[in-house]
Structure formats: structure tokens, C-alpha cells
Amino acid sequence: MRGLVGLVVVLAIGYFIYRQYLGQVLPKNEGGGSPVQAITTTGVKNDLIAIAQAERLYQAQHGSYGSLDELVNSGAMNLARSGRDGYTYSVDAGTSGFTVTARYSGPISPPPPSFSVDQTMEVRAVP
């Protein structure tokens, strides 16, 4: 009987240490959610940065910021799709700046956060 109790105690301590280790090693996911959502969020943020870099290139070549279609048609960006895993990308281009927004419209409830980036190249969560 002592052997069984000892084994249970060792397993409980091992489980506690395992959970603590994973809590420190795994990255924190904004808004909670699954690891798949964390991967999707990272991909969306990378896409936003790529679109913002294409905006900078387009502005240098044309003297103004362009729409998503103009970026693709000019060759400033190779974007095969206008979204990723429930997120849809949109560009609001003006004469003095731009904002690229990724809004979630998929089936997950509550929805993950939406994100935007502007000429400062800083990705932000938006309400």
C-alpha cells in the first residue's frame, strides 16, 4: 500500500513540474485559444507586415499609397489571397498614410482579436 501511495505522490509532483515547465516554455496566446489559433494569429501579423512593406515600396515608386489590388497589380506584393483562416484583409490608403486591417469573421466564438498596422509598422490589436 505504501508503494502505491508513494507512486501517486511522485506522479502528482511530476505532473505539477511538467505543467509549470510548459507554462514557462510555451508562448502566451493573445486572447487565449488553441495553439492553432496562435499559429493563425502569427501568420496574420506576418501578412500585415508584408502588406505594410509593400505599401512602402508602392509609395516610393508611385508617390502615394495604394489599395490591395493596386499593390498586387503593380508587383509590389505577391498576395495569393485576401485573408487567412477566417481573417479578411483590407487597406485604407490615403495621401499621407495607410492602415491595413485584418478582421476576423469566422465561426469561432468569441472571435479572436482583429489587428491593424500603419506606416509606423507596429501591429496593434483593434476592437
Could you give the number of structural domains in the chain?
1
Q: Is residue 2 part of a domain?
A: no
Distance between alpha carbon 99 and the CA centroid of its chain, in Å?
A: 16
User: Tell me, what amino acid is at 68?
Assistant: L
Does 3 map to a domain? no
Report which of residues 117 and 111 the model is more confident about: 117
Q: Does residue 10 belong to any structural domain of this protein? A: no
Biggest CA-to-CA distance, the chain: 80
State what percent of residues in the chain have pLDDT above 70. Answer: 90
Give me the chain's average pLDDT, please: 84
Domain-located, residue 6 = no
67, part of any domain: yes
Neighbours of 78 (CB within 10 A): 9
Tens of pLDDT, residue by residue over 42-100, are 999 999 999 999 999 999 998 999 988 888 888 888 876 778 888 999 999 988 899 99
**Which residue, among 110, 89, 100, has the nearest Cα to 30 in the 3D structure?**
110
Residue 124's pLDDT is 93
The percent of residues above 90 in pLDDT, for the chain, comes to 34
Has residue 41 been placed in a domain? yes
Where in the sequence is the domain holding 120, given as residue range(s)?
34-126
- Which helix (H) or strand (E) segment holds residue 6: the answer is helix 2-25
Q: What is the mean pLDDT of residues 24-36?
A: 59
Kindly state whether residue 74 falls inside one of the protein's structural domains.
Answer: yes
Confidence of residue 108 (pLDDT cuts 50, 70, 90): confident
Phi-psi region of 62 (alpha: psi -120 to 50; beta: other; left: phi over 0): alpha
On whether residue 43 sits in a domain, the answer given is yes
